[in-house]
C-alpha cells in the first residue's frame, strides 16, 4: 500500500463523447491544469424505518449523484478548449478522469482512477483581477463513475501549459474598451436536470441530463471615474460585454443590463464602483 497521495500526484483529463455516457475507444485525453479538484459521489441512500424499533430497518441505495468541481487557470495554449463545453448549444458530454498516482506520470504506479462519464457543465465562473491570471471555477454533473487502478486502455494523455495574465485580458462594452476595470467575473449556470427512470438495469443511475433554462450573470469592478453605470441603470440601457480570455479567445455577452451598481466610500480608501449585470445570450470563441 502506498502512502497517502499529495496534490502534485494528481491530474485531470477529459475527452468528448460521441455517445452519451460512453468513453471513446483509444481516447486522446486532454489535460485541465487544475489548482484544485473535488470529485464527489452521493449514494442518496433511502433510509427505512418501522414500528417496533428505534433504529433503521433497512438502507437502500438511491439515485447516485455525481459531481466534480475543478478550479484552474486558463492555459494560454488552449484557453477555451475545456471551457467551451459550458455552452448548452454544443449539447456535448464529456468523460473526465481524475488520476492519483506515484512516481513519474508517464510510468505511473499505484494509480487510482476516478472516471466520470456523461459529464456536463452545471456551472462555470471565470474571473480576472489585477496582479492575477484569468481563472475558472467549474462544476460538472455526471451520469456514472468507475473507480479503477489504471489509466484508460489505449489512451494518450496530452498536457496544456501557460496562463493568461490580467494584462493579456481586456473588457469591451459594445465597441469601447474599458480601461478603468480592476476586477471582472461572469457565470454560466445551466440548471441541469438529473432524470432517472424506473428500470432494473442501472436503475440507480440517471438516464438523461438535459440542459434547462440558463442564467448568465456577472460583475465588474471599476475605479470610480465616471457616472456612466448609474446613467445606464437610470436610462435602462442595453449593451454587450466582451471579455478577453487570452490570444484571440473571448466571451461575448449580449443583451446585457446592469442589475445594480454601488460605490462604497470609506475613510482612507479609494472609491470603487461594483456593478452586477445579467445577459440574454453568450458566445465563447
> Could you report the per-residue pLDDT of 68-91, keeping only the tens digit for each?
999 999 999 999 999 999 999 998
Rounded CA gap, 117 and 138, in Å? 16
Mean pLDDT of the chain: 94
Number of independent structural domains in the chain:
1
What's the pTM value of the predicted model, to 2 decimals? Answer: 0.93
The verdict on residue 1 lying in a domain is no
Distances (CA, A) of 174 to 169, 223, 240, 256: 16, 19, 5, 10
The verdict on residue 54 lying in a domain is no
The verdict on residue 52 lying in a domain is no
Note the pLDDT tens digit of each residue in 89-136: 998 999 999 999 999 999 999 999 999 999 999 999 999 999 999 999
Structural domain that includes position 218: 7-47+59-284
The verdict on residue 133 lying in a domain is yes
What 3-state class would DSSP assign to 239? strand
Overall average pLDDT of the 140-144 stretch: 97
Q: How confident is the model at residue 34 (pLDDT cuts 50, 70, 90)?
A: very high
Contact 214, 88 (CB under 8 A): yes
Closest by CA position to 60, among listed 74, 49, 71 = 49
Please determine, for residue 283, whether its predicted confidence score (pLDDT) is greater than 80.
yes
Rounded CA gap, 218 and 135, in Å? 14
Overall average pLDDT of the 184-212 stretch: 91
Please determine, for residue 258, whether its predicted confidence score (pLDDT) is greater than 90.
yes
Helices (H), 103-256: 228-234
- Residue 231 phi/psi, 5-degree rounding, is -60, -40
Overall average pLDDT of the 31-35 stretch: 96
Strands 36-42 and 65-73: antiparallel
Contact 258, 235 (CB under 8 A): no
Q: For position 192, what pLDDT does the model report?
A: 95
The verdict on residue 2 lying in a domain is no
The verdict on residue 53 lying in a domain is no
Amino acid at each position: 500500500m502506498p502512502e497517502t497521495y499529495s496534490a502534485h500526484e494528481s491530474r485531470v483529463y477529459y475527452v468528448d463523447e460521441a455517445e452519451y455516457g460512453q468513453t471513446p475507444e483509444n481516447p486522446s485525453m486532454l489535460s485541465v491544469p487544475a489548482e484544485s479538484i473535488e470529485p464527489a459521489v452521493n449514494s442518496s441512500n433511502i433510509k427505512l424505518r418501522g414500528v417496533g424499533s428505534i433504529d433503521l430497518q433497512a438502507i437502500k441505495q438511491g439515485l447516485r449523484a455525481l459531481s466534480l468541481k475543478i478550479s484552474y487557470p486558463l492555459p494560454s495554449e488552449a484557453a477555451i478548449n475545456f471551457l467551451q463545453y459550458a455552452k448548452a448549444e454544443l449539447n456535448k458530454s464529456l468523460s473526465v478522469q481524475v488520476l492519483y498516482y506515484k512516481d513519474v506520470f508517464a510510468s505511473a504506479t499505484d494509480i487510482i482512477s476516478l472516471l466520470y462519464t456523461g459529464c456536463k457543465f452545471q456551472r462555470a465562473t471565470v474571473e480576472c483581477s489585477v496582479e492575477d491570471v484569468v481563472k475558472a471555477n467549474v462544476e460538472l454533473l455526471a451520469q456514472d463513475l468507475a473507480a479503477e487502478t489504471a489509466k484508460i486502455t489505449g489512451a494518450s494523455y496530452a498536457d496544456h501549459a501557460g496562463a493568461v495574465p490580467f494584462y493579456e485580458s481586456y473588457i469591451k462594452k459594445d465597441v469601447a474598451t474599458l480601461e478603468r476595470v480592476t476586477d471582472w467575473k461572469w457565470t454560466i449556470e445551466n440548471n441541469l436536470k438529473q432524470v432517472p427512470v424506473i428500470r432494473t438495469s442501472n436503475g440507480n443511475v440517471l438516464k438523461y441530463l438535459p440542459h434547462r433554462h440558463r442564467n448568465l450573470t456577472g460583475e465588474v469592478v471599476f475605479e470610480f471615474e465616471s457616472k456612466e453605470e448609474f446613467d445606464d441603470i437610470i436610462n435602462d440601457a442595453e449593451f454587450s460585454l466582451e471579455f478577453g480570455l487570452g490570444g484571440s479567445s473571448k466571451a461575448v455577452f449580449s443583451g446585457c443590463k446592469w442589475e445594480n451598481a454601488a460605490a462604497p466610500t470609506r475613510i482612507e480608501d479609494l472609491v470603487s464602483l461594483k456593478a452586477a449585470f445579467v445577459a440574454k445570450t453568450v458566445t465563447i470563441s
